[in-house]
Amino acid sequence: MTKPHKGLLDVAVYTDELAVAICAEIAAGKTMKAICEDPNMPHLSTVVRWLRDKPEFKALHDEARLIQADTLADEIMDIANAPLMGEETMEREFLKGTRNADGTIDGKAVRILEKRRADMLGHRKLQVNARMWRAQVLNPQKYANKQNVEVGGSVSLKSVLDSLGDD
């Protein structure tokens, strides 16, 4: 839930301490939205304005985002290495009745709900994929699935023109 505006504009005053506090929360993995919902923090629009108007804050913020990518990568390993137990519910439906000579079944559909405790693999996969995507966006040089291809060598214009003249 977003906190209400303090009038039309948030009156928070930029300080180095506040900037460091915001960036420490970012580096720890919090979203800017979550940080700005804290009543002791400035409104999101104020922080966005500081990012635009204060180069020192922008530099600190950019560094915090790179650290946040590493934090997310660490969280991925934690999620992958620890099961998340939860309740799985499966629904099965079948016909219960008697089989007639013509192969049809007289009876009714029966629905059974089965519940069991299991590792929530689908949920863990979603958590890992979301963090991986975010880490790739925050630090593509480190986390994006890219292949760099380097081509070396040189071509001289004279050799190209000479090869054209041989026809």
In eight-state DSSP terms, residue 146 is -
pLDDT at 145 over 90: no
Supply the pLDDT for residue 10: 61
Token pair 């303090």: residue: 6
Over residues 65-119, the pLDDT tens digits come to 999 999 999 999 999 998 888 888 888 887 777 777 887 777 787 788 888 888 8
Query: Which sequence spans correspond to the domains of the chain?
Result: 7-84
Which has the closest alpha carbon to 130: 79, 61, 66, 62?
Answer: 79
Over residues 53-66, the pLDDT tens digits come to 999 999 999 999 99
The pTM for the full model equals 0.66
pLDDT at 7 over 70: no
Supply the pLDDT for residue 4: 53
Give me 100's structure tokens: 């007639």
Average pLDDT, the chain: 86
| CATH 1.10.10.60 fits domain 7-84 | yes
